[in-house]
Amino acid sequence: MRSKANALKESGARVINFAAGELSFDACAEMKAGALDAIHQARNRYTPPLGLPRLREVLAQRVSERTGVTFTASEVAVTAGAKQALFNACMVLLDPGDEVIVPTPHWETFPTQVRLAGAIPVAVDTRQDDYRLTRRAVQTAITPRTRMLVINTPNNPTGTVYQRQQLAGIAELALEHGLWVLFDECYRSLTRPGCVHHNILSLCPALKPQTVLVDSFSKSQAVTGWRVGYACAPAQVISAMHNLQGHTTSNPSSLSQYAALATVTAGSQAFADQLAPFLQRQLDKARSYLDPLPGVAYAPAEGAFYLYIDVTPWLGELYRGEQIRDVDHLSELLLTQAHVAVVPGSGCGDPSSIRISYALEPEELEEGMHRFVQFLGLVERADNY
């Protein structure tokens, strides 16, 4: 959808891009200062494959402080974004035929990377449980072949945040069955007021030997293009990642690493504090357009910067005489007719919904929501014809 939106833009159309999973903000000041300093000091050479030793040390300290579980530099791998950390984990921990529990709706990369490792993603539908994986659902999905489960909180695409009791119950099951937990918390600092992000190890320290924590600077520092993330895991897992990464991409960008080091060392909350009220205002504005619509429903918008909207009432109906076949067709019509780009839920394992990002410039959000609601207002019931 992003590619199609860009192609339409090049033709001269003014497209509102709700499909981008990134903030409209400029990069965090500490990240920019760290990168510039690295340039001026000619930090242009290779680093060790898993990152600067000092960066790994500081990351280990920070993760230890916020989880209450001790990590050392040997348990940290710096990667080219969180996506590489997730890929490395799948490649070094999974064998062909292993099963991995993946909550649905999901970020489409999760099952794809599982398949790349030769393993089998087992989708667990969370829509009836407020879009969150539950202990009961995990228990039902476990088989003798289950090797790993994926938890992503705050969640992409739904924006939900897992609750303390839910995570604790899932952690107990993982311990009982000896499952690896791939815990993606890339949006951990982007929660709405009243919602709290919980790290699974802070709730269950005993799970550390079978957990891979994945985090990134991309979302929280508005540097999606800089490609710097990290994984925290047992030392033997990190060692295996070292072997893999050393023969695939080698080290992440040295400039991005020095920028990350400056940011982590500074430990400033200023950027996050600036983002929080902005995202809340944006969410409130988007909701002001959606909530008056009859029959509209969406996932609890508690974190990240997404609204995940159930568009079932409009599927099968007519737009200017043309039947809306499915969520992909609806997304195509929104783009070509209203010039609004959204993410269809079909790519997230869900044929009933779409994802929009509200982390746009305020005027773009307003215009995009106006077009979106106007489009839906033109949809007519098929049985009227």
Q: What is the pLDDT of residues 114-166, one digit of tens each?
A: 999 999 999 999 999 999 999 999 999 999 999 999 999 999 999 999 999 99
Q: Structural domain of residue 365, as residue ranges?
A: 2-21+271-379
Last residue of one domain, picked from the residues 216, 231, 266:
266
304 and 345 co-located in one domain: yes
78 and 56 co-located in one domain: yes
177 and 289 co-located in one domain: no
pTM greater than 0.85: yes
DSSP sequence for 303-324: BTTEEEEE-GGGTTSEETTEE-
276 and 262 co-located in one domain: no
39 and 150 co-located in one domain: yes
List CB contacts of 107: < 8 A, sequence separation 6 or more. Answer: 152, 156, 157, 184, 348
Task: Answer yes or no: is pLDDT of 1 > 80.
Answer: no
275 and 256 co-located in one domain: no
pLDDT number for residue 262: 93
pLDDT number for residue 382: 74
* Rounded Cα distance, 139 and 130, in Å: 18
Q: Say if 165 falls within a structural domain.
A: yes
Structural domain count of the chain: 2
Range with the poorest average pLDDT among 15-29, 84-98, 184-198, 207-221: 15-29
115 and 250 co-located in one domain: yes
Q: Say if 334 falls within a structural domain.
A: yes
Q: Say if 62 falls within a structural domain.
A: yes
Q: Say if 384 falls within a structural domain.
A: no
Tokens at residue 266, please? 């500074």
List CB contacts of 251: < 8 A, sequence separation 6 or more. Answer: 46, 47, 48, 49, 50, 51, 78, 245, 257
pLDDT number for residue 384: 60
257 and 285 co-located in one domain: no
Domain harbouring 339, CATH code: 3.90.1150.10
List CB contacts of 259: < 8 A, sequence separation 6 or more. Answer: 30, 31, 32, 34, 35, 38, 217, 223, 226, 228
| CB distance 379 to 319 below 8 Å | yes
Closest CA to 83 of 214, 171, 250: 214
Q: Say if 306 falls within a structural domain.
A: yes
Task: Answer yes or no: is pLDDT of 385 > 70.
Answer: no
pLDDT number for residue 379: 86
How many other CB atoms are found less than 10 A from the CB of residue 189? 18
63 and 176 co-located in one domain: yes
187 and 89 co-located in one domain: yes
Q: Say if 213 falls within a structural domain.
A: yes
Mean per-residue pLDDT over the chain, rounded:
94
